[in-house]
Structure 1
């Protein structure tokens, strides 16, 4: 039997992940500069290191939270799609969620491969196509929430905020 709402841990992890995603997307810090300096044999300033480390630690947290979210998703389940949502859009929603989860795993791994493994293409993929895809999916996800709230008039937003 599917739950009627998301559990408190599921909701907490969702919103913590959202905060970290926006932090890293909007404030990438000095990660590229630090990587360039290290690649050129130079030493970053303490401020540059701090900024880069915030990006790195946020990426590790996103990866860990995503793993926990997937575990909870399999153990606790997720609410069924609202009956008001047409079948085609239910399929699109499942695909979009799968892509978001895939990116939230692949992006930190690509960042790790670039920063710690010195794999240049991983950095390009991380900061280029993956970042663009994540922006697209985040905007589409937020748009879908508004469609649910104001067009189909479902409680999808309430399930992830209030737990109803």
Structure 2
């Protein structure tokens, strides 16, 4: 039995990590740019979101095909249950966030772009729906900070405190 995730799973994990950083930074730092840059910054955010959605669904399908390698030494059942719950939250969050964002952008009824391409939009704006979706998108995005922090903390605790191979299973291979 293998002791690491597949190279594709590892690559997707770290690519999603980078895309999440870019998506969050685009929104957090947009105020530092002139208003004329907003469409580009929004496009970067939306493009990252779409890429995250595609990669998270791909990662979920890969997880079904290639189960997680075992943690050694084997953790207690409660820790395993918490890990499963944490991963479920991560998958739900980073699939739901982009989906909500896409429906929100579509419902605005005006031009919007992803990857430099014009995207479809509703013939007529539904601002009530947009406001409701935006509030959920912002709330879940803020929750994302907590989830990401707990995920990173758990990985570090596994590595440095419990001294198991949890973190090492997701690290890229060392070049020889």
| TM-score over 0.5 (shorter chain) | yes
Post-superposition, which runs of at least 4 consecutive aligned residues in structure 1 deviate over 3 A?
81-84
> Which of 86, 89, 97 is residue 76 of structure 2 equivalent to?
86
Equivalence for 2:142: 132
- Structure with the larger RCO, 1 or 2 (CA within 8 Å, 6+ apart): 1
Name whichever structure is richer in helix by fraction: 1
Give the structure 2 partner of residue 19 of structure 1: 18
Q: Name the structure 2 match of 1:65.
A: 55
Map 1:1-164; keep pairs closer than 5 Å: 3-28=2-27, 30=30, 45=36, 47-118=37-108, 119-128=130-139, 130-162=140-172
- Alignment correspondent of 2:114: none
Runs of at least 5 residues in structure 1 that lack an aligned partner in the other structure: 31-43
Structure 2: which 5+ runs fail to align?
109-129
Per-residue deviation, residues 82-132 of structure 1 (Å, max 9, x unmatched): 43422111101100100100001100011112111232211111012x012
TM-score, normalised relative to structure 2: 0.77
Cα RMSD (Å): 2.0
Number of residue-to-residue matches in the alignment = 149
> What TM-score, normalized by structure 1, do the two folds share?
0.83
